Amino acid sequence: MAKKNAKKPARAQSEEPSDKQLGKPSEKQPEKLSKKQKKKFFQKELARLQIELVKLQEWIKAQGLKVVVIFEGRDAAGKGGVIKCITQHLSPRICRVAALAAPTEREKTQWYFQRYVPYLPAAGEMVLFDRSWYNRAGVERVMGFCADHDVAEFFHSCPEFERMLIRSGIVLLKYWFSVSDEEQERRFQSRIHDPTKRWKLSPMDLESRRRWVDYSRAKDEMFAYTDIKQAPWLVVNADSKKRARLNCIRHLLNAIPYKDLTPKPMKLPSRENKSSYVRPPITDQTFVPEVY
């Protein structure tokens, strides 16, 4: 097992980029608003940030940037929710999500990072990892899916693997969504009672709940070894889903300098009018029943 008294690497000089690109949040801060006003505030602010995400997407494409964003955190911390907000208005050809299933028997025999490499971005792409190679330091370790020497090797190899990615031109951001014990329990209960969310809850989630302290210790040691200057861990307070989404997206936008390349509005041409064209009979086609 890796040494627990490893010296923690120095953090980057500034984890909070300047807000020159985005300006201040619109309207009043949520603390001063009613419940209805808060909802409206978050919706308006999210829409504003999503417009900026489209601008960032076009900049990534135009400049040939290669961006990797890692989302980690406990179960029900809100990783999937923020990823949906980020990708909602983006092109899947430019911004795609990588959410790998459990490794196959063949993949278990490979170099650990090998199965993640095919998902890395080419020029002009951004990849969002919904969990990542950090599974080894978290779920695999806590649940006993790997040996102690595998974890020790991961702690040794991971920082250099990430430095190698950065040297190759990849922009790497790592977000950890931090959720409290009480809030995780509330979200688990919500999943139990909501039929549309029940699929999100698995026996593994319940077991991770029981091993809360083990996960906490694993996370602390993971941070100690992998919180490197070139790619520090960026912790998002995730007890409020809406706040976490806005704060994370805002940070992402400020972390990658970009310019507005939005094209000017185009003029829609007139439709070609050819009287010689005759549409086929409706009876020759199969239509979806109009139930609504």
More confident of the two residues 270 and 168:
168
Q: pLDDT grade, residue 277 (50/70/90)?
A: confident
Does residue 33 carry a pLDDT above 70? yes
Q: Three-state SS for 70?
A: strand
pLDDT given for residue 21 in this prediction: 62
In-domain check, residue 148:
yes
Instruction: Encode pLDDT of 38-81 as tens digits.
Output: 899 999 999 999 999 999 999 999 999 999 999 999 999 999 99
In-domain check, residue 275:
no
pLDDT given for residue 204 in this prediction: 87
In-domain check, residue 177:
yes
CATH number for the domain spanning 233: value is: 3.40.50.300
Instruction: Encode pLDDT of 148-166 as tens digits.
Output: 999 999 999 999 999 999 9
Domain span at residue 86? 30-270
In-domain check, residue 186:
yes
Q: Which residues does 99 contact at the CB level (< 8 Å), separation at least 6?
A: 129, 130, 131
CA neighbor of 163 nearest in space, from 228, 210, 100, 99: 228
Pairing of strands 66-73, 170-178: parallel
Q: Which residues does 174 contact at the CB level (< 8 Å), separation at least 6?
A: 69, 70, 72, 231, 232, 233, 234
Residue 210: is it exposed, middle or buried by C-beta count within 10 angstroms (0-12/13-18/19+)?
A: exposed
pLDDT given for residue 26 in this prediction: 60
pLDDT given for residue 16 in this prediction: 45
In-domain check, residue 90:
yes
In-domain check, residue 1:
no
Percent of the chain with pLDDT over 70: 90
pLDDT given for residue 232 in this prediction: 99
In-domain check, residue 24:
no
CA neighbor of 69 nearest in space, from 61, 79, 77, 54: 79
User: What mean pLDDT is reported for the chain?
Assistant: 91
- Number of structural domains (the chain) is 1
In-domain check, residue 138:
yes
Residue 68 is given by DSSP the state E
